[in-house]
Amino acid sequence: MLEIGTKAPDFALPDQDGVMHTLSEYVGKKVILYFYPKDNTSGCTKQACGFSERYPQFLEKDAVVLGVSKDSVASHKRFQEKYQLTFTLLSDTELSAIKAYDVWQEKKNYGKVSMGVVRTTYLIDEEGIIIKAFGKVKAADNPAQMLEELA
């Protein structure tokens, strides 16, 4: 996980509509950048729906929410449409941002070891500095937790 107080790495990733986004385009706003393992899985769906339900409150606090996984643009589009998600999902099939933010790690599942995305959320300030970092996030609780962090 990246250290609090460090400059957040910039990235250029396509969203669910294929439109490119960079972190630097959000200078002047707080950014909740969350990394999740996979579209349409139970934890990831709870987390995404939680952020979506609260998205107007994030906007009121001049913050944007960006969700990142290694799923394709097409997968993100289906996920967004299925749950009417109101925020931006970014596709990182090359793992460039996932690795830059140090969330591609060894995971153990039922004794089997594999590499994967560890659910992690960063709060980045208006100047692009990481001000909060949460690893091994509880999916269902994360959206409310991040709204509290902005208070």
Contacts for 126 with CB less than 8 Å, ≥ 6 apart = 27, 28, 29, 30
Catalytic-residue membership of 44: yes
Catalytic residue among 44, 90, 117, 146: 44
Helices (H), ranges, the chain: 42-60, 73-83, 96-100, 142-150
CB-based contact 120:109 (threshold 8 Å): no
Instruction: Cite the active site residues.
Output: 44
